[in-house]
A and B are shown apart, each in its own frame.
Chain A
Amino acid sequence: MDIKALAENLGLEEEEYMELLELFLETAAADLEKLEGALEEADADLVSSTAHSLKGSSGNMGFSAFSETARAMEMRGKEKRLDGSAEELDMLKAELAKIKELAGK
């Protein structure tokens, strides 16, 4: 996985992709914090809607592992099930760290 290939997949220039990546890192960090809070409060609806947003933006960016995990969280949040969500949150954090590295941050 490298920036050039990810950008090409979307038909974008590298700098356009970088602009979106900045935006993604910013919103994803905020969403992960939100997720953490929602899990503490056991607010399944908020878990589901936040995971939905993360799924969408990461999927668009081409981060399929991140997107898959977020999707699983969204689905189970919809069913009001939060078991395993803490592990998934950790997975998302680890994925995000990898993406940051990729972005050279």
Chain B
Amino acid sequence: MHSYPILIAEDNQVSRRMLQIALTKAGYEVTVAQDGREALDMFNDRFFPIVLTDWMMPEMDGLALCRAIREAPAEGYVFIILLTAKDSKEDIVAGLEAGADDYLTKPVNHAELIARIKTGVRILELERSLKKANEEIRILSVTDPLTGCYNRGYLMDRLPQEVKKARRYGRPLTLIMGDIDHFKRVNDTYGHQAGDRVLKEFATRIRNSFRAEVDWLARYGGEEFIVVAPDTHFRGGCILAERLRQVIEENPIPLPAEEVRITASFGITCLDPKTAEDEITAEILVNLADQYLYQAKEEGRNRVCGNPL
């Protein structure tokens, strides 16, 4: 069975049944309507990527159906073939201008009908592959290629939205900035490939330690990462940061040659809309987390420092 179901709108019983038999035989899933109005109702209930419509029909004719389908927001492209007994140039132009992709003159030759449907399928397949490619590009554009977590561009895009949301719903928002301690030593001792492996593992462990689908992680720069935890007050954030610190400290990272033990420092801040000033922006939150991270480094590393707002 083809994955592109076809909707047929045709008022003539014999023609309708004939089209249904021909297309079903060719392996298509076919639904029939007896006029344009019924076809439009069916189309609004369920998306059909291919519509085959007669021109002259009671209630709503083929041109009106074409226009209605083109105007409605649809989940994808609809390939419309108009069936017509008319074959004057003016009529064909009117049909194409109403939104039909192609037309067939009646009586319809079945081989030609199937060939035209196949043209439609090629176009729909092209659309499908374009959509897939666009989605892949969209994901790539927000992803850090090494660690697979979000990149800085995405962080700077989305964090202001999280701040807005926190304020609108009066929910606290916690930000944790983490940085691997003495990361340069890892690179110097084991090489950059090992360094990359450590960064990857670090990101994976962090992601496995927070709430999936709620908290999210972005790579801020070199070995600096930011955890955004919506709906999380400062105390909850501290528990999370401490857990992250322990996970990193207690689980050595296996390298081809040996295991490497690392630690990380964390700076944490929390925006509580009930107490925080209105001027606090996403940028200020990041800067504060960065300052507390610096403090954690100053105080001896492998620790969590921070304050709520």
Which chain A residues have a beta carbon within 8 Å of chain B's beta carbons?
10-12, 16, 19-20, 23-24, 27, 52-53, 55-57, 59-62, 67
Query: Which residues of the other chain, A, contact B108 by a CB distance below 8 angstroms?
Result: 60
In the bound complex, residues from chain A placing their C-beta under 8 Å from that of B110 are 10-12
Of the candidates B14, B56, B85, B110, the one having the most CB atoms from chain A within 10 angstroms of its own CB is: B14
Q: How far is the CB of B116 from chain A (nearest CB, A)?
A: 15
Interface segment, B16-24, B92-100, B178-186? Answer: B16-24
A95 CA to B271 CA in the complex, in Å? 86
**CA–CA, A10 and B107, complex, Å:** 10
The docked-state distance in angstroms from the alpha carbon of A51 to that of B22 is 25
Contact, CB under 8 Å: A59 / B106: yes
Flag whether B13 is at the interface (Cβ < 8 A). yes
B18/A56 in contact, CB under 8 A? no
Known contacts A11-B110, A59-B107, A60-B15; is-contact A20 B21 (Cβ 8 Å): yes
Main SS of chain A's interface residues? helix
When chains A and B are docked, how far (Å) is the Cα of A10 from the Cα of B108?
9
Query: Which chain B residues (1-29) contact chain A, with CB distance < 8 Å?
Result: 11-15, 17-18, 21-22, 25
- Whether B21 pairs with A56 at a CB distance below 8 angstroms is no
Please name the residue on chain B nearest to A55 by beta carbon: B85
> How far is A11 from B85 in the complex, measured between Cα atoms in Å?
21
B111 contacts A by Cβ under 8 Å: yes
**In the bound complex, what is the Cα–Cα distance between A11 and B19 (angstroms)?**
12
Q: Show 12 residue pairs from A and B whose CB-CB distance is below 8 angstroms, ordered by the A residue.
A: A11-B25, A11-B110, A11-B111, A12-B21, A12-B25, A27-B13, A53-B12, A56-B12, A57-B15, A59-B85, A60-B14, A61-B18
Considering the chains assembled together, what is the distance between the CA atoms of A61 and B15 in angstroms? 8
